[in-house]
Amino acid sequence: MTKYAPQLRVPATYMRGGTSKGVFFNLIDLPEAAQKPGPARDALLLRVIGSPDPYGKQTDGMGGATSSTSKTVILSKSEREGYDVDYLFGQVAIDKPFVDWSGNCGNLTAAVGAFAISNGLVDASKIPQNGIATVNIWQANINKAIIANVPITDGDVQETGDFELDGVTFPAAEVEVAFVDPADGEGAIFPTGRLVDTLEVPGVGSLQATMINAGIPTIFINAEDIGYTGTELQDDINNDAEALGKFEAIRAHGAVQMGLIKDIGEAATRQHTPKVAFVAPPKGYKASSGKDILGSDIDVLVRALSMGKLHHAMMGTAAVAIAAAAAIPGTLVNLAAGGENRESVTFGHPSGTLRVGAKATFDNNQWHIQQAVMSRSARVLMEGWVRVPQI
């Protein structure tokens, strides 16, 4: 009889953050080989989530078989001056043996501060008995600062509340998250140097595109240029293989033009970034929950794809990109929103609406965004240990 090794037992917390959920780890709790980047870490996280799964269900793991639920987070006490915690995000592919470390998850950011406080990664002197704890987060994927304001009651993280977030069924406590200087590099919000580019995509055509790097690299195109209205829901696109193929072609060619990859063949190994989104002027529609969204309640319509599928709501980092683009006159997002100067934008997505604030300034011939601010919520779903067969 063949003898097999017992499963590993790894401390973990399953959390919802914004409209995503994932498995959170304290770095020091990982097996020694997985405490540093490399194949051992990737293999562990793939097995935790249940990938690769040719059935596309992640039944034998913690993943939920969508881009929003196939996520992992590794946190550690920060050694950087001025920061409490280092936040590393891994987007796990569903059908491939691949963990993408190229970008951040803005939604799960809302849960980082809570996890850090509850797991002793934030100095106790910073946590009030009652009030708001400010957690300074270093986002290690993109080397950016994030500030999370976490509510505290009787010395513990307050998770319950009446804050409602479209795309999340139940109310919870509000967590305000600020993404500081969200542009990539030295203020390079527009990698091409232009607010609007012409993007040539074989099989699709010539498209106007705003390619921005704020929050996460994102390619914005006009909905009408690709035959959509901007009111689409997931089934309108995710059941259309031809449409998904076109969006992937747009993403790959845009990634080349943004300088993220050298040729379109590399796009397959960089699935998390860039994102593709399409925009349209405000118009009423029925959200996926059946809720009526009035055109008068929003500034612009936005639909975005993540990991090759239309997102059920909006990625938090893409919301930062939307706010940044809306704040800069002349971008496709700003024009779809009416072309006005603005410091906030309320956009319609498949699950409802979201308001995000961002202020743009123009200095030294470059656009700058000091920070983008949004409200999310987060809570612990389960905590204890995740069991993983030894790799």
- Which residues are registered as beta bridge partners of 178? 147, 373
Secondary structure of residue 166 in the 3-state scheme: coil
Every domain range in the chain assigned CATH 3.10.310.10: 8-182+378-388, 197-350
Instruction: For residue 200, give every residue at least 6 positions away whose Cβ sits within 8 Å of its Cβ, in sequence order, or none.
Output: 206, 207, 253
Q: Which amino acid is at 231?
A: T
Q: How far is CA 258 from the centre of its chain?
A: 19
Is the CB of residue 64 less than 8 Å from the CB of residue 21?
yes
CATH for 197-350, options being 3.10.310.10, 3.40.50.1860, 1.10.490.10, 1.20.1250.20: 3.10.310.10
Catalytic residues, by residue number, are 105, 315
Residue 16 scores a pLDDT above 90: yes
Write down the pLDDT at residue 131: 98
pTM for this prediction: 0.92
* 107 within 8 A of 68, measured Cβ to Cβ: yes
Alpha-carbon distance 385 to 391, whole Å? 17
Contact 275, 217 (CB under 8 A): yes
pLDDT in tens, 128-185: 999 999 999 999 999 999 999 999 999 999 999 999 999 999 999 999 999 999 986 5
388 within 8 A of 7, measured Cβ to Cβ: yes
- Contact present, 158 and 167 (Cβ < 8 Å): no
Give the end-to-end CA distance of the chain in Å, rounded to a whole number.
Answer: 20
Alpha-carbon distances, residue 69 vs 168, 315, 351 (angstroms) = 13, 12, 16
The pLDDT tens digits for 276-313 are 999 999 999 999 999 999 999 999 999 999 999 999 99
- Round to whole Å and give the CA distance between 260 and 23: 28
* DSSP label at residue 97: S
Instruction: Identify any residues that bridge with 386 across adjacent strands, giving them in sequence order.
Output: 10
Cα 107 to Cα 16: distance, rounded to the nearest angstrom: 9
Least confident of 197-201, 333-337, 367-371: 367-371
Q: What is the CATH number of domain 8-182+378-388?
A: 3.10.310.10
Q: How many CA atoms lie less than 13 Å away from 303 in the CB half-sphere?
A: 28
